[in-house]
Amino acid sequence: MNNLSLPKIFDQYQDDIISYTKSFYKELNNDLYITHKYFLGWIDESGLESNSSGKSFRPSLMMLINESLGGEKNNILPLAMSIELFHNFSLIHDDIEDRDEIRRNRKTVWKIWGEPKGIISGNSMHSLASEAINLLPESLNEKKVFLRKLINRTCLSVIEGQYLDISFEDTFEIKVENYLEMIGKKTGALIETSAILGCSLEQTSKENISLFTKLGKLFGQIFQIKDDYLGIWGDQTLGKPIGSDIIKKKKSLPILHLIQSSKDSDKKIINNIFSQKEIDEKSKKIILDLMQKYDVNSYCQEILESKFIICKEIIDNLDISEIYKKDLHNINTFLMYRKV
């Protein structure tokens, strides 16, 4: 697969989201919001203008779905900003919990300003994500209660997923089903909600809403499982060195399946390696060899392929223009075959 990319319309959505969000922040002058502007990629550590924003995948998916149903950009932008701020709040806290010092090739908020300010930065961004719903036009007032409940429920789901993820760190053998439940909350919930929000402001059939909801959930699963795959079989030249998640002792899908599939003698070897304070290159190679022995790569590829095919069928069944179906198929292909 060559020239993999998200739909070109996503570039315009991202520009619209950044422009709208920057306008929103103009009224926020407290020094606290310097940490937000830094994390959102608008300024560097010295406060100078920068351009290091994320892809805005979730709100862009929402805007695409909304547009496919005849929605107005100005109506959906407050929700798009809400989801983008919510996603970034969760990342600020993730970095503290995981002790990550680098994100998007820059120092993390807590690494620059310290943990207490990092926690406050994330909390305040979460509050602003909720506040953004109030910016919806008055004509949509009757929907605000539903939208707030949905976003709050999603927030709780993401936090539950992060709690499960942290809990898994101290457990050697975790069932794949429990892992899939965890990523469904931590990663999938926000993508699924983005799809639901995309069709929440417009009149459409129950069938369309159901299909978009399923599509969002599956996109979330493919997104995380592909991340797990790249954490083992990545590309050094693209910033994803082979076996990077093994070195990090990350309990990702390939590693969990390996543990479940292994004979007792191999399971003991894996346990001994993951019990080490640090995993060296020699130990990493042992794990990679065991993955080859138990054909873990094929297992992960089969899961991705099955979800990819289901997404194709869902997109084909949507009652929207072929132009937007093509964009959704491009997203599906990008998530399935991306290299980073």
Residue type at 225 in one-letter notation: I
Q: Are 261 and 295 in contact (CB under 8 A)?
A: no
Per-residue model confidence (pLDDT) at position 119: 98
pLDDT confidence of residue 223: 95
Fold of 204-340: Farnesyl Diphosphate Synthase (1.10.600)
Tell me: the pLDDT tens digits for 92-116? 999 999 889 999 889 999 999 999 9
Any idea which architecture 6-201 has in CATH? Answer: Orthogonal Bundle (1.10)
What was the pLDDT predicted at 234? 86
Q: Do domains 6-201 and 204-340 have the same CATH topology?
A: yes
Quote the CA–CA distance of 119 and 333 in Å, as a whole number: 36
CB 246 within 8 A of CB 159: no
Q: Which residues, given as ranges, of the chain have pLDDT below 70?
A: 1-3, 237-239
Query: For position 110, what pLDDT does the model report?
Result: 97
The pLDDT value given to residue 238: 65
Residue 187 DSSP symbol:
I
Q: For residues 204 and 209, what is the distance between their CA atoms, to the nearest angstrom?
A: 7
User: What pLDDT sits at residue 172?
Assistant: 87
Residue-level pLDDT at 48: 95
Joined together, the tokens standing for residue 16 give 């619209």
The domain ranges of the chain are: 6-201, 204-340
Q: How far is CA 292 from CA 238, 261, 286, 295, 305, in A?
A: 23, 12, 10, 5, 19
What is the chain's alpha carbon radius of gyration, rounded to the nearest angstrom? 21
pLDDT tens digits, 11-57: 999 999 999 999 999 999 999 999 999 999 999 999 999 998 888 99
pTM attached to this predicted model: 0.93
Q: Tell me, what's the pLDDT at 80?
A: 97
* Whether the Cβ atoms of residue 130 and residue 151 lie closer than 8 Å to each other: yes
Task: Tell me the CA distances in angstroms from 166 to 23, 43, 94, 154, 275, one per residue in order.
Answer: 36, 31, 10, 19, 16
